[in-house]
Amino acid sequence: MRSEARPWVLAGTLCALILAVDQVAKAVIEDKLVPGEYIEVFGPLEFTLSHNRGVAFGLAGGAGIGLVLLTVAALGLIAYLFARDPGRPGMWVASGLVAGGALGNLADRAFAGEVTDFIAVGSWPPFNLADVAITCGVVLLAWIYVRDAESESESG
């Protein structure tokens, strides 16, 4: 494999893996739980079944096509940032996480009109694996840019 293609293959593979695991987990939860039911997992971690029409953690509920367009715009931004420098250390991980999570929730919206959430921790609103991937990817992306900015200021 050519070295230029490697980050694209890695990001695409991670994206597909996140999408698949997210969709399988949601299907299992949909099959095994009824809305409002809680199952203790470990400590404050519980599984539940809930649905939302908003963004992560139920924010902006009922935004419909606006959220689909926002998701498509976010995917475009991630693709643009990744394409600018796919070889940047960690960039394939951040891009794969965000893209996989965004596509997981987009698939829910496209096929069910709402997103399935199932992870409950304390009083935090329920969320799903796609939300976790997006959050981790965005945090990693921010860290990459801060790290690189600090490196440039130290060398410049």
For residue 17, give its domain range.
6-36+46-151
Question: Which positions are catalytic?
Answer: 117, 131
Is residue 156 assigned to a domain?
no
Is residue 85 assigned to a domain?
yes
Is residue 79 assigned to a domain?
yes
List all residues 6 or more positions away from 72 whose beta carbon is below 8 Å from its beta carbon: 106
Which pLDDT band, with edges at 50, 70 and 90, does 151 fall under?
Answer: confident
pLDDT at residue 153 in the model: 75
pLDDT in tens, 99-111: 999 999 999 988 9
Is residue 130 assigned to a domain?
yes
Which pLDDT band, with edges at 50, 70 and 90, does 1 fall under?
Answer: low
The predicted model gives 82-100 an average pLDDT of 96
> What is the DSSP secondary structure assignment for residue 34, as one 8-state letter?
-
- pTM attached to this predicted model: 0.88
Is residue 128 assigned to a domain?
yes
Is residue 101 assigned to a domain?
yes
How many residues does the structure list for the chain?
Answer: 156
Is residue 74 assigned to a domain?
yes
pLDDT in tens, 119-135: 999 999 999 999 999 99
| CA–CA distance, 36 with 82 (Å, rounded to integer) | 39
The candidate with the shortest Cα–Cα distance to 96, out of 144, 57, 138, is 138
pLDDT at residue 143 in the model: 96
| CA–CA distance, 126 with 16 (Å, rounded to integer) | 23
**Counted domains in the chain:** 1
Is residue 41 assigned to a domain?
no
